[in-house]
Structure 1
Amino acid sequence: MCCNNEVNKELFEAVLKLKKQSHGNFKLKDIYAGEFMALRTIHKLKQRNDENSIGVKTSDIGKCLFMKKPATSKMLNNLEDKGYINRLSDKKDRRVTYIDLTEKGEELLKKHHQQMVDYTNRVIHEMGEEDMKTFIKLLNKLSDIMDDLKDS
């Protein structure tokens, strides 16, 4: 097995640098990154379920975000206080609470999505489409290798 400490270090540093840059390029006004992920999760779960449903179960949100009930509840309280979500009780079973995005929450997601599209278009332009395709191919290969190794 190959064991080049310099390459190991460079890979680790490059991944950390990409992660830091990807998180730092988009400033969210009054919302934490975890809260934003919750908004995205609510949006995706609602799309997956049925767009006409009244919302997403709080337990499903917690499962997707790997959060325990108290942490999920606290985060949802913060999002509700900021006006990004609404809580709705199930009329048949009051123990079940559904979460839905408000118009303000939907607008934040749309705005952020457009910022991401604009930003990635600029990155692709600067890097060049062929280099980007090669980079994506290599990233997917790395991801597949890492996925295979996690079970061994």
Structure 2
Amino acid sequence: MNPNLKKEFVNLMFRLKKIRIAQLPGVNLHMGELFVMRKIAAHPFNSDANSEANVDMTDIQNSLCVTKPAVSQMFNALEKKGYISREIDPRDRRRFITNLTPAGEQITVAMKEHADKAITQTIARFGEENMTQLINLFNQFIDIIEDAQNEFLSAEAEGVDGIDKVEGAESHD
């Protein structure tokens, strides 16, 4: 294997992580917080007697692949920044009713518009065919990583060194 390939891959992953396609200048939000705000905007609380609290923490946790404390931290940060408000659901005191504040609504709309423009421009510059290929390659790549992770975890659970098992896996060409 090309010894520089691993280094180039790691550098690429860091570069990808730094990209903030929806980021507006002067707005201190990361992608997870924006996702939470968009989720709240898409599911506003309905006071209907049969309605549950509008935002499911577990759904957000699973969608973002983060821990429950990380989701809670995002909600706390958004509330502190004045973008969301939370109150205890009077019908179920274990749950919160979460809404965007007017500032949160404004930022969510502005960031969505900014992201849509940036993505459209990126696809136009890169080309639809290239973007389709990139998406397919990324999906294949992520599938391989997830398979390797699952193999590693199952091997560890069986008491086998998971790294040896994954390293011995066939290559995907």
Q: What's the TM-score, normalizing by structure 1?
A: 0.71
CA shift for structure 1 position 134: 1.6
Question: Which residue number corresponds to residue 44 of structure 1?
Answer: 39
CA shift for structure 1 position 25: 7.1
Q: Is the 8 A contact 1:84 1:103 kept in 2?
A: yes
Question: Which residue number corresponds to residue 26 of structure 1?
Answer: 23
Q: Is the 8 A contact 1:39 1:101 kept in 2?
A: no
SS at 2:28 equivalent: coil
Counterparts of 1:1-150 in structure 2 under 5 Å?
3-20=1-18, 22-23=19-20, 26-27=23-24, 29-33=26-30, 37-41=32-36, 43-44=38-39, 47=42, 52=46, 53=51, 55-56=54-55, 60=58, 63=61, 65-68=66-69, 72=72, 75-150=74-149
2:98 maps to a residue whose letter is I
1:29 maps to a residue whose letter is G
State how far apart, in whole Å, the 2-side matches of 1:89 and 1:104 are: 21
Q: How many residues matched?
A: 143
Q: Is the 8 A contact 1:89 1:98 kept in 2?
A: yes
Q: Is the 8 A contact 1:85 1:100 kept in 2?
A: yes
1:23 maps to a residue whose letter is R
Q: Is the 8 A contact 1:85 1:101 kept in 2?
A: yes
CA shift for structure 1 position 128: 1.8
2:3 maps to a residue whose letter is N
Q: Max radius of gyration: which structure?
A: 2
CA shift for structure 1 position 143: 1.1
Structure 1 segments of 4 or more deviating over 4 A?
A: 59-65
Q: What's the TM-score, normalizing by structure 2?
A: 0.64
CA shift for structure 1 position 19: 1.8
Q: Is the 8 A contact 1:90 1:97 kept in 2?
A: yes
Q: Where do 5+ consecutive residues of structure 1 fail to align? A: none
Query: CA 1:62–1:146 in structure 2 vs 1: closer, same or farther (change >3 Å)?
Result: closer
SS at 1:68 equivalent: helix
SS at 2:97 equivalent: strand
Query: Deviation per CA, 1:37-70, whole angstroms, max 9, x where unpaired?
Result: 23522542674x776355336x54884541428x
CA shift for structure 1 position 29: 3.0
**C-alpha RMSD of the superposition:** 3.2
SS at 1:147 equivalent: helix
Higher helix share: 1
